[in-house]
Structure formats: structure tokens, C-alpha cells
Structure 1
Amino acid sequence: MDQEIKEKIPLKIYFVLFVSFLSILSIVGQITILGKQVYDITGRELDLGLLGLAEFAPTFLLAPFTGPLADRMDRRILFAWALLGEGAVSITLFWYATTNPTSVMPIFGLVIVLGIFRAFAAPSGRALAVDMSPVSTVPRVVAFSSIAMQSGVIIGPVLFGFLFVAYEPLPYLVSAICLGSGAVILSFVPSSKVRLLKTSGAKNALADAFEGFKFIRRTPMLFGAISLDLAAVLFGGAVALLPAIAEDRLGVGAVGLGWLRAAVGIGAGAVAIKMAIRPLSRHIGRTLLFVVAIFGLGTIVLGLSQNYALAFVAVLILSGADAVSMFIRATLVPLATPGHMRGRVLALENVFIGASNELGAFESGVTAALMGLTGAIIFGGAGTLAVVVIWWFCFPVLRKVDRFEEVQTFTEGHVD
């Protein structure tokens, strides 16, 4: 145990984590502003849901190819090219915003293109830091990765909210600069030595992708953890409705919305710092189910809130609980996955994450159109609580996981 605590995290990993921070800052900040612009143009909650659907569709459709590609080529190079593609979309959004847009269709089209590049960036970017980490440092690297991500979630919406007030197209230009800078930094990071997949061809790509799915399916602990996130956040996707909550319920503008969206990162970031200092070490499975239940309760409180302070606290609580869930899942998955399969497994997990976040946004938009804003959010929180009860009984192997060391079974392809 003492050796694990003393082992240093290689310097190159911190550069990768900084690139992840720039990427998340740009994407989350940009999506927040896009939601604001779309709602300003149409005034319909449903369009916020459609925005999430446009973001998710490429991740779902391209998963059979993005995962195997991340296992076949240098993940550092793939991540860099994907960031450059996202930067190009941001430049196009900057140009469109300067035209005083009155239609949301070009925005939806550009978000689909953005989603295509995100589908390639996610599995390569998420696997890269773990690839370079000694096995004993993986939980701490995951915690630092969560800090980098949540820092981007905090700073992005607030910064872009102020930039939007100063000049509406400016957030997209700043996003492009950050994404391009991340690609440049990656060019100076040495490659990992994880063994690459050698197969080629479209038929083999589909077979390889299916191998990743079979691996998740025959590992009940992984399947339970990943599907729990899908089911719970699919119901609890109230964050997508924050533009409508801020405008219609709380009466605040872009800056108030930015801070409310940043509360997601503040709550999660505080938890991530705690995890980096003192990582969770016992009762892993029960803790995962418990924090998902807290997420559902926080969502219900958000649905009932009528003032800004209560809504802000509710978002802090539900995002902090979600951060613990993310930390557990993000540590379990790479520890239980062979290095040469990590791209495929993470690409499929990214589909689950995208389904929970973006399809959750779509579900929230549709239910808000049918039930109203308050009814949709309360329904989502109650659905999350129901999911926890079902998973408690359906996945006892997940509930009984006590330590991360219990799942450190597959280290093939990992370089210490």
C-alpha cells in the first residue's frame, strides 16, 4: 500500500489532462451557449432536447468504428485530429453567429458534425491518460482527470456566459483557440506503448466492435455499472433544461445561466478534489448505488425549486453525487479492461454515457413539452430512484464490490 501511495504520476500525463481540460471547457461552454441561442430563437424546451439528440446521434452510429480505430492507431494522434475538427466547427459557429441567425437548423447541422468529431475524440482521449499510467496510479489519475474535467465544466459556462454578454459570437472563437491549442500540446506528448490492434477492414472493424460489447456483457460488474449510468441519467437529464429553468422559472440571463451551469462543475469539482486527496477505497458498489439515489433526490429538489439559491444548491448536490458515480465507473472500467481492448470498450461506454446525457436531454425536452417543466424534472428524479432499486436486486455482483483491487484482473497491454 505504501508503494502505491509513493509512486509518482508521470509528467506527460499532466499534459494530457490539461488538454482534456481545454477540450471540456470548450465543449461544455459552447453547448451551454448553443442552448441559450437555440432557446432565444425558438422559445421551445423541445428544441433543447433535439439539441442533445443531435449531439448524441453520431456517437451512437459511429461507435462500431471509433472504438476499433482508437485501438488500431496512436490514440494521441487520433485525439489531436479530432480536436482540430471540433475547432473547425467552432470557427463555423462563430461565423454563423455573426450573421444574426434566425434559424436553428444550421446550428443543429453543425452540432451533428461536432458530435462526429467528439465520437472520435472521446475513446482516444479518455484512454490516453490511463494508457500512460502505472497500474497502481490509475485511481489517482482518474481522480485528477475528473478534476481537469470538472474544472472545464465550471470555467467553461461561466467564461462563455461573460463572453456571450460582451459579444455573442465570441465564445465560439475562444472555443476554437482552446481546441487548437490542445491539438498542438498533444504533438509534444510521447506515444504510449500500449499494444495496438492489428486487424483491418470494415468487416473486421464490426467484429472487433462486437468483441468489445461481448466483453462488457459477459462482465456483470462492468455491465451493471455502465448501464446504471445510462438508465439513471437518462431519466435525470434535467441539466439540459437549465436554459428554460433560468429564463422562465428563475428570471436570470446568460450570466445567471452560466453560473447555474457552472454549479454542475463546482459540485463535481469539490468531490473530485476530495477523491484526488483521499480516493474512495471501500464499499465501492454500495456507494455507487447510494450516490445515484442522491442524484435522483437532487433532481426532484431542482424541479420543486422556485428561487435561484435553492436551484443552485440542488445542482451542486446532484452534480457532486454524479461525480462520485463517474469516479467509480471511470476507475472500474479501465482496471477491468485489457489495454488492447480499451478503445473499443471506452467507445461503447461513451455510447452509454452519450445516451444518458444527450438522450437524457432529449427525454427531458420531450417530457417538458408534455408535462411542463416542473413535472418533467420531478418525473425524471423519481425514475432515477426507481432505477437504483431495480439495479440493487438485478446486479448483486456490482453491489458487493468492496475494493478497486478486486477488479484489477486484466492488465494485458499496460505499461508500468
Structure 2
Amino acid sequence: MEPSFTNYWVSRILSSTSFQMLSVAIGWQMYSLTHDAFSLGFVGLAQFIPMVLLTLVVGHAADRFDRRKIVFLCQITEGAIAALLLFGNISGWLGREQILLAAAVIGACRAFEGPSSSALLPQLVPQAVIQQAIAWSTSAGQAAQILGPSLGGVLFSIGPNFVYAIATIALLIAGFLTILIRMEKSVRKLEPVSMRSLLSGLVFVYRHPVILGTISLDLFAVLLGGATALLPIFAQDILHTGPWGLGLMRTAPAIGALLMSIIFAYFPLKKAFGPTLFGALAVFGIATMVFALSTNLMISLIALLMIGASDVISVVIRSSLVQLQTPDEMRGRVNAVNSLFIGTSNQLGEFESGMVAGLIGTVPAAFIGGLGTIVVACLWMYLFPSLRKIRSLSEG
């Protein structure tokens, strides 16, 4: 890969890992200060609300301004917030309100950074290797999910100041690497700021069946297949393992995803993209059902590895389709819509799994969720035949 992509990839690892570390530290410190579960829930809400409220704005910004500079400013701002958390903790004025404000600002930065970073990627590599580039980018995210929480937990056990200090340094380095990225300037037709231009991303997605099917498929498939939200119950009540087992179970999907993304990076898919996409969703659903019925930790870990691996196959194909089927001048807005759908599916998927488990039991809820993913895949094959039949990334 080109040096610019290497800078992009390393920057993404540092930024995502820092976010995971800060999430652990902020959540733990909030609960230590308040001993209030509602305050802990508000931290997640403070990070999630900006993504929803800013979706149309961030997409428009990513299409009007230099995406590289947007990502840079977000990373530097996140680094400044981490530094303020460090200073506040040392000075003794860091409390509930300050933590919530920090979480909201970080959430707003992530809302801008995600779509801008995704829209930036196709400008860094030739179209012929976009699939490999997305696979490598996905591997960065998965590596961050594995390293970030564990590193954050270890550093927090030494002292929260260590988490905030390391995150500050990592985010500043990430920003420095981002601003070093060099790319050919693309000529984009800038639309005047209006309600029509703000909504044009949603309109574009609606008018293109392949993209609509791709984005909505993620929303409903992940919404129903969110068994990972129930891992603490499986670890304690079904598999009868301790915190160490829960840690292994939380890590297993990310490890499976990381391994598969590396395989994809070296052996990209050449044909049958549509059938492979739906096949991966079927494997995801079956693995979820196997996990639901398992009473053996090893079988459960293998099922979770398969869940992570099959999810990455789906992610790489869907991301590649969205990136290559969207004109550069629309990528920011379309990626903003995509980010909203992904974020919503993850959040609502955990909520749905918890509610259904409370009503009918943990095992039936997880099993029905896996079955629901397969049903959604079959339904989408019928509703979006163009997506089912697609053979190459260049097909419309």
C-alpha cells in the first residue's frame, strides 16, 4: 500500500484504540464517582445522541471540505478532551457533569470523524484495490476493539491518569499522521447549503436499490443478531464460567473478525459478491444459533469466532459496494447515513436482545435472533434482486 494509506491505517488504529480506552476509563470513573447505574447509562447516551443529531450535517461537511482536515481536527480535539480529563482528575475538579460533557464532545468528534474517514479512504488507493484497503481498515478497527478495552483496563488499574495521558499522546500522533496524508485533489461540485443538499444523502440511498439494500441489510441483520449483548448472562448462568470466561467470549468475535479481515486483505473476493454476502449472513445466523444452544465454553468460543469472521465478510463486501457505487461528491453524506444505520443497529440490537431475553429467556432470545438474521437475509434476497445478483463491485 501507498505511504498515505499506511499513515491512514496507523492513525485509525491509534484513534480507535484511544476511543476504546477512554470509553473504559470514563465509564469506570463515572461509576466510581456516582455509584449510579443511570449516570453510567447517560455516558453511553451522551456519546450516541450527537451521532444521530449530526448525521446530516457531518455528511454535508465531509462533501464540502477537506476530509483529511476534518479527521485531523476531530483527532486533535479528542486529544484535547483527553488532556482536560487528565488535568481535571489531577486537579480534583472532574465530576459527573464534566465527564458527561467530555463524553458528548468525544461523541460529536466521532460523529464527524467516522463518515469523513470512510469517505477519505477511496481517495487514497486505486479502485482496483479498494476491497483490500477496506479489509485492512477493518482490521485496524478490530485490533482496536481487542487492544483498547484491555489496555484501558490495565492502565486504569494503575491509575486513570495513565489512561488519559496515553490516549492524549496517541490521539495527537494520530492527528499528525493524518495531516501528513498526501493525495490527489479531487474536483467536487459543491452544492449550495440547503435542506435539499442536507437530505440528498438519504435521497441518493433511497434511489439506488443496491446501496439501500446494502445499508438496510446491516441495520436489520445486526438488530436481530445481537446475541453478544447477552454474554454476561451466558457466562454466569449457562456456561458457568467466571470473568475470565466472559473476557474470552467478548474477545472471540473481534479475533475472528481480525483474522478474516487479514485474509480478505491478501485474498480479495473476485466474483459472486451478492451470493457471498448472503452466504456470510447465513453463517452469521447459524453460528448465533449454535452459540445460543451451546453449554460448552469451547463450542461457544468457536461459534463467536465464526460470528466475528462472517460479519467481517459481510462488512467488507457492503462497505466496498457503498464506496464504489457512490460518486465522490456524495460519499460523505452516504457514509454518514451508513454510519447512522450501523450505530443504530448496534445500539438497538443490544436493547432488543435484552428486552426479548427478559420476556422469553436468554437462550430462546439468542436463538430466535440468529434465526431472524437468516430470515432477513432471505427476505432481502427477494426484495433486492439486484443486490443478490451482483457479481462485481463495478455493477450498479
What TM-score bracket applies, with the shorter chain setting the length? 0.7 to 0.9
Contact 1:52-1:361 at 8 Å conserved across structures: no
Contact 2:220-2:345 at 8 Å conserved across structures: yes
Paired with 1:287 and 1:318, the residues of 2 have a C-alpha distance of: 15
Q: Taking every aligned residue pair, what percent have the same amino acid on both sides?
A: 36
Contact 2:4-2:183 at 8 Å conserved across structures: no
Paired with 1:393 and 1:88, the residues of 2 have a C-alpha distance of: 49
Which one is further off, 73-82 or 285-294? 285-294
Which residue among 128, 131, 134 is the counterpart of 1:136? 128
Aligned letter for 2:350?
Answer: A
Look up the match of 1:411: none
Which residue among 369, 375, 378 is the counterpart of 1:380? 369
Paired with 2:361 and 2:42, the residues of 1 have a C-alpha distance of: 16
Paired with 2:42 and 2:351, the residues of 1 have a C-alpha distance of: 6
Which residue among 67, 72, 75 is the counterpart of 2:64? 72
- The answer to whether the aligner puts 1:391 opposite 2:366 as a matched pair is no
Look up the match of 1:234: 223
Paired with 1:241 and 1:38, the residues of 2 have a C-alpha distance of: 23
Contact 2:225-2:366 at 8 Å conserved across structures: yes
User: The residue matched to 1:406 in structure 2 has which SS?
Assistant: coil
Look up the match of 2:53: 61
Deviation string 1:79-111 (CA, Å, 9 cap, x unpaired) is: 0111123334444556788899xx988766543
Classify 1:222/1:258 alpha carbon distance in 2 versus 1 (closer, same or farther; 3 Å): same
- The answer to whether the aligner puts 1:218 opposite 2:224 as a matched pair is no
Aligned letter for 2:242?
Answer: V
Superposition map of 1:29-68 within 5 A: 29-31=21-23, 53-68=45-60
Contact 2:7-2:177 at 8 Å conserved across structures: yes
Superposition map of 1:152-301 within 5 A: 152-167=144-159, 170-201=162-193, 204=194, 206-242=195-231, 245-246=234-235, 250-253=240-243, 257-301=246-290
Paired with 1:237 and 1:48, the residues of 2 have a C-alpha distance of: 21
- The answer to whether the aligner puts 1:316 opposite 2:316 as a matched pair is no
Classify 1:317/1:86 alpha carbon distance in 2 versus 1 (closer, same or farther; 3 Å): same
Paired with 1:328 and 1:397, the residues of 2 have a C-alpha distance of: 14
Aligned letter for 1:133?
Answer: V
Classify 1:89/1:290 alpha carbon distance in 2 versus 1 (closer, same or farther; 3 Å): farther
Deviation string 1:327-354 (CA, Å, 9 cap, x unpaired) is: 0011111110111111111111111111
Aligned letter for 1:294?
Answer: V
Contact 1:151-1:265 at 8 Å conserved across structures: yes
Paired with 1:160 and 1:397, the residues of 2 have a C-alpha distance of: 44
Shift of 1:183: 0.9
TM-score using structure 1 length? 0.82
- The answer to whether the aligner puts 1:13 opposite 2:13 as a matched pair is no
Deviation string 1:14-73 (CA, Å, 9 cap, x unpaired) is: 1111111112222234445666778898797x9988765543322121111000101111
Shift of 1:300: 2.9
Classify 1:93/1:310 alpha carbon distance in 2 versus 1 (closer, same or farther; 3 Å): farther
Classify 1:324/1:97 alpha carbon distance in 2 versus 1 (closer, same or farther; 3 Å): farther
Paired with 2:361 and 2:85, the residues of 1 have a C-alpha distance of: 31
Shift of 1:312: 2.5
Deviation string 1:305-333 (CA, Å, 9 cap, x unpaired) is: 44543333222110101000000011111
Contact 1:49-1:366 at 8 Å conserved across structures: no
Deviation string 1:178-233 (CA, Å, 9 cap, x unpaired) is: 222211211222254122453344xx2x3223211111111111110110001111
Question: What is the number of residues matched between the two proteins?
Answer: 394
Which residue among 332, 335, 342 is the counterpart of 1:353? 342
Shift of 1:142: 1.5
Shift of 1:145: 1.5
Aligned letter for 1:25?
Answer: T
Contact 1:52-1:358 at 8 Å conserved across structures: no
Aligned letter for 1:396?
Answer: P
Paired with 2:105 and 2:182, the residues of 1 have a C-alpha distance of: 29
Aligned letter for 1:194?
Answer: S
Paired with 2:40 and 2:355, the residues of 1 have a C-alpha distance of: 9
Superposition map of 1:89-100 within 5 A: 89-91=81-83
Look up the match of 1:362: 351
Paired with 1:311 and 1:168, the residues of 2 have a C-alpha distance of: 33
Classify 1:287/1:84 alpha carbon distance in 2 versus 1 (closer, same or farther; 3 Å): same
Gaps of 5+ in 1: 1-8, 408-416
Look up the match of 2:328: 339
User: The residue matched to 2:326 in structure 1 has which SS?
Assistant: coil
User: The residue matched to 1:163 in structure 2 has which SS?
Assistant: helix
